[in-house]
Amino acid sequence: MDNLIGRLTAELAEKDAEIPETLLEKINRNIAPPERLTAEMVHIRAMYIVSDRVNSFGGCFPVEEHEKLAALLIDSPVLVGHRKDSLPIARNFHAERTARGNANWIKVYFYWLKDSADGEEIRKNIDGGIYKECSISFIFGLPECSICGNDMRDCRHQPFAEYETGGVKKVAHFNYRKIEKVLETSLVYRGSVENTSLTNELAFTKVVAGELENPDRHRLPPLQKLWDITKVPPDERYLALPAYESLKAHLYKRSGALSVTYPDGTPLDSELLVPFLNRLKLPTSDFAVEVSLIGYRGKERQSAADVASYLVGGHSPVRRLEMKVFDILEEGSDNVASEDGAHRRKRLERLFSSLTALLAPATAVSYSELSQVVDKIATRCGVEIYSANGSERFLFTYRRSARFKVAALEQFSRGFRYRLSGVSQGQTLPVNNIICSTHRLAIGDICELETAGVNLNGDSIELKHPRITALAAAGSGPDELRLIASESVFRRRYAVTALSRNRTLIDFRQTDGPLLLSHCSPDQVQQGGWLLADRYDNNSRSVTESGHNGTVLSRERCGEGYRFSLEGYLKGNFILRPVRIKGMRKFLF
């Protein structure tokens, strides 16, 4: 039979007053870091990770399995909230068996570097009670029934159900046997509720060999961001669906087992989803669908971040959860993700024929009708548009926003300076702009960003007035920028005018204001070289009197000045930098 993934939640142990030398020796011996670590370099904490008590999933680690599990825990990573799209924050280096509260426990020790990017913040969150509990993710081969000793997937017994055997009533559970690997441990906000029962469908997630790291075998075409509705191909028909403020996810039913992942394939683990999905009475056949998990407070939809926090038991305004099904990836054993939109919708409507209220409403339209329908059904998050006779999918939004990946960062007194990367036609490109923000992000994070324009400069990206607004929802990736890029929004005009024989005015219209260059003619300006300039404050002069014109192709901040790329009368790259000469502020051009 296939192996199983297990995931359990426990609690963090108390911190030690000082770090014993024996623990430091275990770090250096078991992990063998390139540089030998000392007490001044690391924080160490511990977690009580598993016991021989029956947990809320109906499972139990028999004490005879503890020695093997303790060995498997060493050198496993520590994450936050099982976010596999982020780097580990710490590493487990030692585990020991201990007695606590009339139970046998495994206590695992982990460490992280004090001078790491978020080292102090992690310590504060643990010691301040934000991260109160911990969770373990592992692979095991056999859920052994406590009643009959067989595989509980095959026998008639169910966890937490009461059975009479030999005249004695016993509550069934299963033992974790054939434990093969610890995938990771995680710090979490809140874990499972004691004695919460799960149905047989959601008690285990089956793992197909070779698919553990990429369970999302079949992928739908990505939603291409769209700011101009006329950018879609005009010779096709479309399906238009309202885009909700929600958390996107993929819902799978395979061999009778349900599982939920983020769009990137990362498991979405939430005990709140268990009773919610069970109430829906989903189709009995196997399927994989794309869904939106919508969180409400009253009648108002909450953000994707609020929904994600609600699902893991964190602080959230969400009070009620709904689900809408948008698209289909698999029906039975068929991969349908690459079929055209019309056929995928027919399959979806047939599969959910008795649950039509779960389907996001779709309107079939021609290209000429698309703009009118979009105006009618658009939410504040826009409209999802699927090609009816092709596989392309689009997300139209009135708000000029897009998702980018954090490539590098630098902290300064007022916040952070970020370097980002974006995606165009599947290729990752660097963003030229350095973006300052008070948002605290990590390298590799996906951020939401508002910008007045996107320009693709061959092998790089230029943004106009970018502003980071939020960390993107878990499981999100960078947006495809091909259809929102526009060179025209970056093109400004400039004018070069001879005010007199040796005085030249360069007017960067709506950019940096006019510059007055003394002791040089326009022809001398065109020849290049370093020139001194002053701001020209006479706004009464009309730029229509200019003798020469051109276009500002790009502008990038360079320290306290700017770097320009010009074409027209002045062609090439120029720098404008403030200088002080004899106490007077001027500009070097």
Q: What is the CATH number of the domain that holds 299?
A: 3.30.470.30
Mean pLDDT of the chain: 80
| pLDDT band at residue 266 using 50, 70 and 90 as cut-offs | confident
Cα–Cα distance, 288 to 204 (Å, whole number) = 17
Q: Where in the sequence is the domain holding 310, given as residue range(s)? A: 223-361
Q: Do the domain assignments include residue 129? A: yes
CB 295 within 8 A of CB 330: no
What is d(CA 338, CA 439) in angstroms, rounded to the nearest whole number?
Answer: 38
Last residue in a domain, options 207, 242, 262: 207
Residue 367 within a domain: no
Asked if 187 and 199 sit in the same domain, the reply is yes
What number of CA atoms fall less than 13 Å from residue 581's CA on the CB side?
9
Write down the pLDDT at residue 87: 59
Average pLDDT over residues 489-493: 61
Instruction: Tell me which of 325 and 477 has the higher pLDDT.
Output: 325
- Residue at 447 is within a domain: yes
What is the rounded distance in angstroms from the CA atom of residue 104 to the CA atom of residue 96?
11
Whole-model pTM: value is 0.53
Among 169-173, 273-277, 298-302, which stretch is predicted with the lowest mean pLDDT?
Answer: 273-277
Q: Does 505 map to a domain? A: yes
> Domain check: are 562 and 582 in the same one?
yes
Q: Which amino acid is at 452?
A: A
The secondary structure of the chain in percent helix, strand, coil, rounded to multiples of 5, reads 15, 45, 40
Is residue 383 situated within a structural domain? no
Of 1-15, 150-164, 320-334, the poorest mean pLDDT is in: 1-15
Q: Is 212 within a domain? A: no
Judged by phi (left if over 0) then psi (alpha if -120 to 50, else beta), residue 572 lies in: left
pLDDT, tens digit, 9 for 90 and up, residues 161-205? 888 887 888 899 999 998 888 888 887 654 432 322 222 222 333
DSSP secondary structure letters along 121-178: HHHHHHHTTSS-EEEEEEEEEEEEETTTSSBTTTSS--TT-EEEETTEEEE--EEEEE
Q: How far is residue 121's CA from residue 326's CA, in Å, rounded to a whole number?
A: 38
Report the pLDDT averaged over residues 571-583: 78
* Cβ contacts of 569 within 8 Å, gap of 6 or more: 496, 522, 526, 548, 549, 550
Say whether both 293 and 262 belong to one domain: yes
Same domain? 544 vs 484: no
382 inside domain = no
Q: How many domains does the chain have?
A: 4
Query: Is the distance from CB of 39 to CB of 28 less than 8 angstroms?
Result: no
For the ranges 31-40, 145-154, 383-392, 506-515, the lowest mean pLDDT is seen at 506-515
Residue 396 domain-assigned? no
**Residue where one domain finishes, among candidates 361, 393, 413:** 361
Using an 8 Å Cβ cutoff, are 358 and 289 in contact? no
Final residue of a domain: which of 313, 337, 361? 361
Is 149 in the same domain as 195? yes
Pair 160, 269 in one domain: no
How confident is the model at residue 211, as a pLDDT?
Answer: 32
Q: How many helices (H) and strands (E) does the chain have?
A: 9, 38
| 46, 113: one domain | yes
Same domain, 469 and 512: no
In a shared domain, residues 105 and 82: yes
Pair (197, 229) in one structural domain: no
CATH value at residue 453: 2.40.50
**Is the same domain home to 162 and 48?**
yes
Which 8-state DSSP code applies to residue 281?
-
Q: Would you state the pLDDT for residue 521? A: 72
Of 301, 330, 336, nearest in space to 316 by CA: 301
151 and 247 in a single domain? The answer is no
Helix (H, G, I), strand (E, B) or coil at 274: helix
